[in-house]
Amino acid sequence: MADRKNFNTNLVPRGTKVFPQVVIANGFIFLSGTAGFSPATGKLISDSFEEQVVQLMPFPGGILFSVEGIAMI
């Protein structure tokens, strides 16, 4: 069985508590999907698809920033 580490960060709102935001396995980093949630409220930013996309664009960067230190382990 491959080494596997699940990881979550508070920098990005989680869409679900069921799946981790990141799985690190065999030298790869897998990011889970997310939606345009507001970090302040935990709710969708609006009903507009375009506004949700703009809201979620920084999330992968925030997740990877948080993972950077543990990805080298």
| Banded model confidence at residue 73, pLDDT cuts 50, 70, 90 | very low
Task: Report the alpha-carbon distance of residue 71 to residue 57 in Å, rounded.
Answer: 22
Which phi and psi (to 5°) does residue 6 adopt?
A: -95, 145
Query: In this model, does residue 72 exceed pLDDT 50?
Result: no
Separation of CA 28 from chain center: 15
3-state secondary structure of 40: coil
* Mean pLDDT value across residues 13-28: 82
Query: In this model, does residue 53 exceed pLDDT 50?
Result: yes
Task: Report the alpha-carbon distance of residue 69 to residue 65 in Å, rounded.
Answer: 8
Whether 45 contacts 51, CB under 8 Å = yes
What would the CATH number be for the domain defined by 4-71?
3.30.1330.40
pLDDT of residue 70: 56
3-state secondary structure of 44: strand
Boundaries of every domain in the chain: 4-71
